[in-house]
Structure 1
Amino acid sequence: MGRTAQPAALKLIKGRGEGKDTAGRPVNPGPAFKRLPPNPPSWMSSEAKAEWKRVLPGLSRLDLLKPEDRAALAAYCEAWATFVAATRQVQEEGLTINAKQGTLPHPAVGIARSAGRELRSWAAHFGLTPSTEQALARGADDGGEEDNPFA
């Protein structure tokens, strides 16, 4: 399968210069979508809506969102909500359950693990993982290229 392609905006933020990616190649800006944040779906859970409100300002400030990203962002937020609910259940009820077969892992442990994997996958698409954050920080304006001996 290979790596998932990054949006042009992320490539440019991490890039070496005006219109260039990290390898110095020109970045195709892609289609001219209107860069407006999508509205959250009305059916989202309250925890997912809270996550939407938390991440939307940062993603919007970086011009990473368009209305067409609504479904993917909703999936990310609902994966977060599932992760939170399962984690809370494990905290309240413990890591194991007593069953006829003996002591077994609590089902919410597997749900939290699965939701965490899905969450990381969706987060990577939006640049919300720690490694992407570091890459964005490296590509940010340092306020003085001429003073940077490593540029």
Structure 2
Amino acid sequence: MTHLRGIKPAISPDSSALTKAPAAPKQLSAFARAEWKRIMPGLIERGIITRGDLGGVEDYCRARGLVREIEDGLRSSGEIDMKLCRLQDKAMQTARQLAAEYGLSPVSRARVGNAATDDDDSDNPLKVH
């Protein structure tokens, strides 16, 4: 049995990837729609998003939108609401996890790049097989 604890498989382009970004779902908040519009071109360009992934991307955008909405609410109230701070922290954590799934963080983007340029390193004596 192989354990992959801490090791994520490389993200690679999908043969059924979308070639055009769909419109942001109408039920998303303004902040979440803005995030959708910000990230979708890069996801389409890298060829890693399929129709089946759109729900997860929507969840990522919803989490990022919630972070921004809570931040605006905290700033406008001028008070620290610990319940909202905890909710914001949870939304940030969820967004980070989903971002890693779709290559939206530096480390996960590097995994996408490594998958595309995986050369045979047979002449490298330090290469682990």
> TM exceeds 0.5?
yes
Partner of 2:70: 86
Matched, 1:62 2:77: no
User: Contact 1:95–1:106 at 8 Å: present in 2 too?
Assistant: no
Aligned-partner residue type, residue 66 of structure 2: T
Asked whether the 8 Å contact 1:44–1:78 carries over to 2, the reply is yes
Deviation at 1:121, TM superposition (A): 0.6
User: Which of structures 1 and 2 has the bigger CA Rg?
Assistant: 1
Determine which of 82, 89, 92 is the counterpart of 1:106: 82
| Unmatched segments (≥5 aa) in structure 1 | 10-28, 97-104, 142-151
Q: CA RMSD in A?
A: 2.7
**Structure 1 runs, 4 residues or longer, greater than 4 Å off:** 134-141
The one-letter amino acid of 2:101's match is H
Question: Matched residues in 1 for 2:92 and 2:30: separation?
Answer: 18
User: Greater strand percent: which structure?
Assistant: 1
Report the equivalent of 1:44.
Answer: 28
Unaligned runs of 5+ in 2: 118-129
Deviations 1:41-71 (A, max 9, x none): 2222221111100001111111111122110
- Give the structure, 1 or 2, with the largest relative contact order (CA under 8 Å, sep 6 or more): 2
Identity of aligned residues (%): 21
Match of 2:16 among 33, 44, 52: 33
- Number of positions where the alignment pairs a residue of Structure 1 with one of Structure 2: 112
